[in-house]
Amino acid sequence: MAELNAEFRGYRSPLSTRYASKEMQYLFSDQHKFSTWRKLWILLAKAEKALGLDISEAQIAEMEKHVEDIDFKAAAAEEALTRHDVMAHVHVFAKQCPLAAPIIHLGATSCFVGDNTDLLVLKDALDQLLPKLVGVIKQLAHFAMQYRELPTLGFTHLQPAQLTTVGKRCSLWIQDLLMDERALRACRDNLRFRGVKGTTGTQASFLQLFAGDGAKVRQLDQTVTRLAGFERYYAVTGQTYSRKVDLEIVSALASLGATVHKMCSDLRLLASRKELEEPFEQTQIGSSAMPYKRNPMRSERCCALARHLITLQANAANTLATQWLERTLDDSANRRLTLSEAFLSADACLLTLLNISQGLVVYPKVIERNIAQELPFMSTENVIMAMVKAGGDRQVCHEKIRVLSHEAGAQVKQNGKDNDLVERIRADPYFAPILGQLSSILDPKTFTGRAAEQVVEFVTEEVNPIVALYADRVVTKSAQLNI
């Protein structure tokens, strides 16, 4: 029995077993990491051969045959002896490629494969996240347009305030997400390759390989960078590329986490008011003890993951701050955790948010009832203005409204009854001149200002151009989520 359950007897990250996509998990897998190391050794060999070093096509072909077939047990055994992960994989690869063994890792330092692989993974991970983020934006834009005219109570200080619309409130969430898209796209566009820099970034080892020919060393840097799929490399590095790069990216991801947390907190508040709900599947159970419950578990999951994502920014900042001179190794263990968990957490948030955004449920009658409890108080100034136009004295009218409002408020707060201010106004002969106008005065749509027009302008001018940037890459459907 113990052997059958062996996989469950050690720690497994929930990010890989429950939350993140298989595609994002693969980017941070050992298979992808170490096969990318081998690809980089091949690119280095190709570029060195093209620039005149004694490297044969047969050696390169031999390496290419063994890119994916990594002997992980042999590598672990080597690392146990050498205490060096890169040299362990150099030795294992060399045993598989005896002809190429003399030229594997030629002139390079560990960070040639380590840092360049990280940069390739970061680029690919950003390329995976951005279409999902824009997919959420696109879905929410549809929702905002659909409900752009539906009045709802606005809140300031979590107290009822002037009305807004359901669509306008959604546009506020979208606006923050657009800022996240802009920040992540900038990270993606600004990302460069470490390239071929040597042990302290001076390229001294490669200068020796090419007999002091600095032009060839520079060309080597440019060629490997291009072969790896980058347009530019960092002109100067220490042993590593600056950990400022990690900080910029993780900061953008943490900022996305803050956006997700804010939006999903709003959804949880609205679910509590029964105005809006996330999708709830037919067989889903909200509570083991209370069968009637429809808990907003997706939004709660997003908030939980987002809080973790937000905290990772401090790790990236501290790692940059504590890198001494050309580099120290105390970044390594931290980055293994921080970079992977930042992207996996962001990926999980976006997958869940995509699921939420494509199935939001609105309850207009509940919203209407909640408005009815507050709108009479909000409309008192309009009632006063109407009475003044009908010839009334503002001060007298104000006092009448004040007294009636307090009486209605007492009914609500002390007796738990509905707001009956409108009925009190209708029953007071003083307000007879405007009774025919009360329905229009109390029409919720007259209290939402330009909210509907703002949504149309916002979606047309700001959302649609961003969605268009991603064309067919936008992800608009999510698979069934693991619970």
User: 15-33, pLDDT tens digit by residue?
Assistant: 888 888 999 999 999 999 9
Cβ–Cβ contacts within 10 Å for residue 246, how many? 25
The whole-angstrom separation of Cα 104 and Cα 107 is 9
Classify 121 as helix, strand or coil.
helix
In the annotation, is 255 catalytic?
A: no
* Residue 82: predicted pLDDT: 86
Name the catalytic one among 56, 287, 332, 440: 287
The whole-angstrom separation of Cα 341 and Cα 343 is 5
* Residue 292: predicted pLDDT: 45
Whether the predicted pLDDT of 286 surpasses 60: no
Domain limits, CATH 1.10.275.10, in the chain: 28-106
Whether the predicted pLDDT of 480 surpasses 60: no
Topology given in CATH for the domain delimited by 28-106: Fumarase C; Chain B, domain 1 (1.10.275)
Average pLDDT score, the chain: 91
Residue 401 — very low, low, confident or very high, per pLDDT cuts 50/70/90?
Answer: confident
Residues 217-230 have a mean pLDDT of: 96
Whether the predicted pLDDT of 282 surpasses 60: no
Contact 333, 312 (CB under 8 A): no
In the annotation, is 157 catalytic?
A: yes
* Residue 2: predicted pLDDT: 56
Name the catalytic one among 16, 91, 110, 157: 157
Return the minimum-mean-pLDDT range out of 106-115, 156-165, 280-289: 280-289
Percent of the chain clearing pLDDT 90 (strictly above): 71
Percent of the chain clearing pLDDT 70 (strictly above): 95
Residue 285 — very low, low, confident or very high, per pLDDT cuts 50/70/90?
Answer: very low
Whether the predicted pLDDT of 479 surpasses 90: no
The whole-angstrom separation of Cα 250 and Cα 382 is 50
330: amino acid identity, one letter: D
Which residues, in sequence order, are CB contacts of 313 under 8 Å at separation 6+? 247, 250, 251, 253, 254
Closest of 60, 50, 164, 151 to residue 103, by C-alpha: 60
pTM: 0.89
The CATH number corresponding to 366-446 among 1.10.40.30, 3.40.50.280, 1.10.3720.10, 3.40.50.300 equals 1.10.40.30
Closest of 370, 60, 43 to residue 193, by C-alpha: 43
461-470 confidence digits (pLDDT tens) = 999 999 999 9
The secondary element (H helix, E strand) that includes residue 398 is helix 394-413
The whole-angstrom separation of Cα 321 and Cα 310 is 18
Domain limits, CATH 1.10.40.30, in the chain: 366-446
The whole-angstrom separation of Cα 479 and Cα 338 is 26
